[in-house]
Amino acid sequence: MIAKKKQIQIAKVMLKNSLSGGLVNSKLVSFVLREVISQRPQGLTKILKVYRRLVENKLKKEEILIESAQKVANQKQLEQEFTKNTGVKRINFKINPKIVFGAKITAGDWIYDATLDAKLNQLTKA
């Protein structure tokens, strides 16, 4: 059985081979998966689980999610600002009916919550 440390190293090499210009490339991901599965290394399931987690984390860092109560008026301008200032490659806008007022921005594991509900919760805790 391959040691856990070795499995993580293999998954990291797989991730590195899945990137194009520092971004996850779906065609490269497919190629890497086919190659690894055809070789059937020991601990394949664990290697694939680690690889999946690494790819998911990388994808989260490439994307920003902006949630608001209604469609954002200056969407193109916001996209340009976020792309320029953060270096992310994808910006997704989502209408969330649970948001009454404000917006919630998620970038990777960082969350900026400027919704009315968050502000009210903050006031009640103070």
- Reported as a pLDDT band with limits 50, 70 and 90, residue 21 is confident
Q: Over the stretch 54-88, which tens digit does the pLDDT of each residue have?
A: 998 888 888 888 899 888 888 888 888 888 887 78
Judgement on whether residues 74 and 119 belong to the same structural domain of the protein: yes
**Domain stop point among 61, 78, 105:** 61
**Domain stop point among 44, 61, 78:** 61
Q: Count CA atoms within 13 Å of residue 114 on its CB side.
A: 7
Q: Over the stretch 88-123, which tens digit does the pLDDT of each residue have?
A: 888 889 999 999 888 998 887 788 999 988 888 888
Judgement on whether residues 31 and 70 belong to the same structural domain of the protein: no
Boundaries of domain holding 100: 63-125
Judgement on whether residues 49 and 95 belong to the same structural domain of the protein: no
Averaged over 30-39, what is the pLDDT?
91
Report residue 123 as tokens. Answer: 């006031």
> From CA 29, how far away is CA 46, in angstroms rounded?
17
Number of domains in the chain: 2
Taking the mean position of all CA atoms in its chain, how far away is CA 11?
Answer: 17
Judgement on whether residues 51 and 68 belong to the same structural domain of the protein: no
Question: Which pLDDT does position 23 carry in this prediction?
Answer: 81
Question: Which pLDDT does position 74 carry in this prediction?
Answer: 85
pTM: 0.63
* 2 compared with 79, residue with greater pLDDT: 79
Pair 91, 64: CB distance under 8 Å: yes
Is 49 a residue whose pLDDT tops 90? Answer: yes
Is 1 a residue whose pLDDT tops 70? Answer: no
Is 48 a residue whose pLDDT tops 90? Answer: yes
Judgement on whether residues 38 and 75 belong to the same structural domain of the protein: no
- What DSSP line would sit under the chain, residue for residue? ---HHHHHHHHHHHHHHTEETTEE-HHHHHHHHHHHHHH--TTHHHHHHHHHHHHHHHHHHTEEEEEESS--TTHHHHHHHHHHHH--SEEEEEE-TT--SSEEEEETTEEEE-SHHHHHHHHHH-
